[in-house]
Structure 1
Amino acid sequence: MPAPAKPVSVVTGGAGFLGSHLTDRLLAEGHRVIAIDNLVTGNVANIGHLAGNENYRFVRHNVSNFIFLPEQKIDFVFHFASPASPIDYLELPIPTLKVGALGTHNTLGLAKDKKATFVLASTSECYGDPLVHPQKEDYWGNVNPIGPRGVYDEAKRFAEAMTMAYHRYHDVDTKIVRIFNTYGPRMRLHDGRVVPAFIGEALTGKSLTIFGDGSQTRSFCYVSDLIDGIFRLAMSDFHEPVNIGNPREMTIKQFAEEIIR
Structure 2
Amino acid sequence: MEIPADCVVTGGAGFLGSWLCERLLAEGARVVCVDSLVTGSTANIAHLRETAGFRFVDADVTVGIPVEGRVDAVFHLASPASPVHYQRMPLETLRAGSHGTGHALDLAARHGARFLLASSSEVYGDPEEHPQRETYRGRVDPTGPRSMYDEAKRFAEALTVAHHVEHGTRTAIARIFNTYGPRMDPEDGRLVPTLMVQALTGQPLTVAGDGNQTRSLCWVGDLVDGLLRLACSDEPGPVNLGSDDERSVSEVAEVIRQVTGSTSPVQHVPRAPQDPLVRKPDLTRARTRLGWSPTTPLRMGLSRTAAWFADQLATDPPHASVSA
TM-score normalised by the chain length of structure 1 = 0.96
Out of 225, 231, 235, the position equivalent to 1:228 is: 225
1:32 corresponds to 2:30: yes
1:8 corresponds to 2:14: no
* Alignment correspondent of 2:66: 68
* Alignment correspondent of 2:239: 242
Q: Distance in 2 between matches of 1:61 and 1:226?
A: 25
Shift of 1:58: 0.3
* Alignment correspondent of 2:81: 84
* Alignment correspondent of 2:250: 253
Check the 8 A contact 2:9/2:33 in 1, yes or no.
yes
* Alignment correspondent of 1:216: 213
Q: Distance in 1 between matches of 2:218 and 2:208?
A: 22
* Alignment correspondent of 1:3: none
Out of 114, 119, 122, the position equivalent to 1:117 is: 114
Q: Distance in 2 between matches of 1:119 and 1:189?
A: 27
Shift of 1:66: 2.1
1:189-208 equivalences under 5 Å are 189-208=186-205
* Alignment correspondent of 1:98: 95
Supply the AA of the counterpart residue of 2:257: I
Shift of 1:105: 0.3
* Alignment correspondent of 1:42: 40
Check the 8 A contact 2:118/2:176 in 1, yes or no.
yes
Cα deviation 1:47-76 (Å, max 9, x = unaligned): 0011222200000000001223221x2100
Find the residue that maps to 1:210 and give its secondary structure.
strand
Cα deviation 1:164-214 (Å, max 9, x = unaligned): 111111111101101101110101111111111111110110111111111
Out of 28, 52, 55, the position equivalent to 1:54 is: 52
Q: Distance in 1 between matches of 2:148 and 2:99?
A: 14
Q: Which runs of 4+ in 1 moved over 4 A?
A: none
> How much identity, in percent, do the aligned residues show?
55
Supply the AA of the counterpart residue of 1:99: A
1:131 corresponds to 2:131: no
Q: Distance in 2 between matches of 1:137 and 1:148?
A: 24
Mark the runs of 5 or more structure 1 residues left unpaired by the alignment.
Answer: 1-5
Q: Distance in 2 between matches of 1:188 and 1:217?
A: 22
Q: Distance in 2 between matches of 1:230 and 1:136?
A: 18
Number of matched pairs = 255
Supply the AA of the counterpart residue of 1:164: V
Cα deviation 1:82-123 (Å, max 9, x = unaligned): 000000001000000001000000000000001100000000
Q: Distance in 1 between matches of 2:19 and 2:5?
A: 18
1:145 corresponds to 2:142: yes
Q: Distance in 1 between matches of 2:147 and 2:233?
A: 31
Q: Distance in 2 between matches of 1:52 and 1:195?
A: 30
Mark the runs of 5 or more structure 2 residues left unpaired by the alignment.
Answer: 259-324
Q: Distance in 2 between matches of 1:236 and 1:129?
A: 30
Q: Distance in 1 between matches of 2:93 and 2:65?
A: 18
Q: Distance in 2 between matches of 1:134 and 1:208?
A: 27
RMSD of aligned Cα (Å): 0.8
Find the residue that maps to 1:134 and give its secondary structure.
coil
Find the residue that maps to 2:233 and give its secondary structure.
coil
TM-score normalised by the chain length of structure 2 = 0.78
Please say which of residues 205-214 and 95-104 is displaced more in the overlay: 205-214
Find the residue that maps to 2:129 and give its secondary structure.
coil
